[in-house]
Amino acid sequence: MPVLSRGKHRNSSKGACFMEFASYLAGERWSDHPSCTHPLLAGLARLVNDHTSDAARPRLAELIPSVIGLTGDDPRLDARIALRCATMALPVVAHERQLAMAVSILSAEHVLAELEGRPPGSLEDRSRRALEQVPDATRWAYAFRRGVRISAKGFRRYAAPNAVQLAVRGIAQACVADPDPLLRDLLAETIADCSALVRPQPVDPARWADACRLTIR
């Protein structure tokens, strides 16, 4: 499997993060911001890569091929990514971050309801279960959201990236025995959510074999 390390690298001899290997697999110029992956999903992958411990980071490598081709202009992608991050982070992050995560859930659900033609205020079961675990934060979030309008464009530009960053950092700093499996599950399940909206591209097995042989110092 490819060997992953934190941060941005000029070339493979200096190291490689999750998205830099993705750029190589996609046949793009070496970059941690390749066009083969949706920008917010790529941002999540970079954050998970950098907040995962050195011992656990190798387990992320098997997910790299699954982000190739997961991109597009569907506004539901940003909302789905933010929603998954917020629902998984909400039960474990510190109280001050729970408030932000609860607001992110309600905002993402509002955007998705409009995009998917669902009744205003409706919640998916996963969101409802997450909110039920933190009743105080949920009450605060509903009061905060009351009367506040958010557009899909505004959510995509500002709220969604903020939710992703807060979720990953919150999980990494949470009072749990081992946050690494939670971070990996977060990335894997978000990839699955995106795959339900966009068909990923198959990866050339020979190129994957080449990526696994890259020399990382």
Provide the residue ranges of all domains of the chain, joining segments of one domain with +. Answer: 12-71+201-212, 75-195
Question: 189-195, long-range: CB within 8 Å, 24+ apart, which pairs?
Answer: 189/84, 189/88, 190/41, 190/44, 190/80, 190/81, 190/84, 190/85, 191/41, 191/63, 191/66, 191/67, 191/70, 193/80, 193/81, 193/84, 194/38, 194/41, 194/70, 194/77, 194/80, 194/81, 195/66, 195/70
| Mean pLDDT, the chain, whole residue set | 91
Lowest mean pLDDT among 65-69, 93-97, 204-208: 204-208
pLDDT band for position 26 (cuts 50, 70, 90): very high
pLDDT at 217 over 50: no
pLDDT at 88 over 80: yes
% the chain with pLDDT above 90: 76
pLDDT at 136 over 70: yes
pLDDT per residue as tens digits for the range 137-171: 999 999 998 877 888 899 999 999 999 999 999 99
* Cα distance between residue 89 and residue 130, in whole Å: 9
pLDDT band for position 1 (cuts 50, 70, 90): low
pLDDT at 11 over 70: no
45 SS3 class? helix
* Cα distance between residue 211 and residue 205, in whole Å: 10
* Cα distance between residue 112 and residue 182, in whole Å: 25
pLDDT band for position 214 (cuts 50, 70, 90): low
pLDDT band for position 215 (cuts 50, 70, 90): very low
Contacts with 13 (C-beta within 8 Å, 6 or more apart), sequence order? 215, 216, 217
Q: Is the dihedral of CA 45, 51, 56, 57 positive or negative?
A: positive
